[in-house]
Amino acid sequence: MKTKNIIIGVTGSVACYKALDVISGLRKLGARITVVLTKEAEEFIKPILFQAVSGGKVISHDMFKAPEEWEVEHISLAQAADCIAVLPATANIIAKIASGICDDMLTCAVCATKAPVLLAPAMNEGMYTNKITQENIQKLKKSGINFTGPIKGSLACGKLGMGHIQDPQIIIKEVKSLSGL
């Protein structure tokens, strides 16, 4: 069986540390992991930690950095992916994807891929239940984007509410199913 290429997009949220559990679990299943970080994600966790856990390539948000070898990196990522999972999926990244905004490596790869895409939202309950966020989620679901969670749990503001990222084991199962891993 062919090794599956999983792109894990990580955005700027307190929940981004959960991506490490998902990456580790997918790697144990034999997936080849490439991590794509947004600028905001790099404010929470340094790329070196994602590289150590994934054993693979970590791509920063900088689309204009000179590549090691010539390629249109966001297109090659999109074409090689068996699944792209974005976790945590903030209200910001959901809005960008729903609007077709391609201003970093992650949004460009998601826009260009034909592979299944899974978003695992994590945000404050007020942001999650906001009418615009809900409209963006419905728009993405209608266009074939998959979602898992969020669930009710502890939020960064210290309250309990809807907006906690889905359990990493469930995210792993979803990625496994979507990618054929």
pLDDT in tens, 76-126: 787 788 999 999 999 999 999 999 999 999 999 999 999 999 999 999 999
**pLDDT confidence band for 1 (50 / 70 / 90):** very low
**CA angle (47 as vertex; 166, 19 as ends), nearest 5:** 10
pLDDT at 50: 94
CATH label of the domain that carries residue 36: 3.40.50.1950
Q: Which of 55-59, 151-155, 167-171 has the highest mean pLDDT?
A: 167-171
User: Who's near 93: CB < 8 A, 6+ residues apart?
Assistant: 9, 11, 38, 86, 106, 107, 119
d(CA 133, CA 129): 7
- Provide the b/e sequence for 55-67 (b: ≥16 CB within 10 Å): ebebbbbebeeee
pLDDT at 178 over 90: yes
Q: Domain limits at 56? A: 5-179
| Number of domains within the chain | 1
Q: Which two tokens stand for residue 19?
A: 């991506």
pTM (two decimals): 0.91
Q: pLDDT for 10-34, tens place per residue?
A: 999 999 999 999 999 999 999 999 9
Mind telling me the catalytic residues? 157
